[in-house]
Amino acid sequence: GQSLEQPSEVTAVEGAIVQINCTYQTSGFYGLSWYQQHDGGAPTFLSYNALDGLEETGRFSSFLSRSDSYGYLLLQELQMKDSASYFCAVRPGFQKLVFGTGTRLLVSP
Amino acid sequence: DTAVSQTPKYLVTQMGNDKSIKCEQNLGHDTMYWYKQDSKKFLKIMFSYNNKELIINETVPNRFSPKSPDKAHLNLHINSLELGDSAVYFCASSQGRFNTEAFFGQGTRLTVV
């Protein structure tokens, strides 16, 4: 099976930098993804790492270490609109995407 | 034009009833999924279909029966609804074996009373 652990909640102020960690256990691995979900909305894709290292997409970056079964999402220059839940997800095989427990990010002024 | 659309958006029904949720994607993707999100926001995969064929059934009670008439549609029928079925159900789609991005519908909030 698969299990992914994330902190349940993170708080930060506007303009700050925040890191959301994800540790996973999986029997197969084809990459780690990150999704954002605002209250009442649908999950939307943010980033994907198949190989070790850092991927940068604007204010968001995602890191993966396959040897440590660990990844993180880094959000820079936080804005109020970044307040949302963030999920890591692993692809243990074809046609399967398993989500982590989710981290609620609260950004205050 | 909505990429992945689900109907209805809200569904309130009594225990014991049977209900269906419809999902359509216009992205040309070959894989579609159903996810259940509970009150703690945990997103649990229920089913995965590839080109109309069932690939994954994550030990979902057989009261839940997905049907894929073609690769653009994946419907979910639920028999004998129970209180514990109350949740938000999301349909999603993706493309390719090593697909990196899944697109989600807006969700169906099911409330069983």
The structure tokens listed for A55 are 């991927």
Q: What is the pLDDT of residue A28?
A: 85
Mutation choice for A interface testing from B41, B44, B88, B90 by most A CBs within 10 A: B41
Query: Based on C-alpha coordinates, what's the Rg of chain A?
Result: 13
Candidates B1, B104, B89; CA nearest to A97 is B104
Cβ contact, residue pair A95, B101, below 8 Å: no
Across chain B, mean pLDDT equals: 93
Cβ–Cβ contact B42 with A under 8 A: yes
pLDDT score for B99: 62
Low-confidence ranges of chain B (pLDDT < 50): none
Parts of chain A with a pLDDT under 70: none
Q: Which of A27, A28, A18 is nearest to A86 (CA)?
A: A18
**From A43, A48, A96, residue closest to B100, measured CB to CB:** A48
Cβ A97–B33 below 8 Å, yes or no? yes
**Which residue in this structure is represented by tokens 């259940």?**
B36
Q: What angle do CA B98, B101, B37 make, to 5 degrees?
A: 115
Q: CA–CA separation, B101 vs B59, rounded Å?
A: 24
Are the C-beta atoms of residues B43 and B90 closer than 8 Å to each other? yes
* B69 touches A at CB < 8 Å: no
The owner of tokens 């070790």 is: A52
So what's the pLDDT on residue B97? 66
- HSE at residue B85, side-chain half, CA atoms within 13 A, is 27
The pLDDT tens digits for A59-75 are: 999 999 999 999 999 99
For residue A81, which phi and psi values (nearest 5 degrees)? -70, -10
Beta strands A44-49; A96-99: pairing state: unpaired
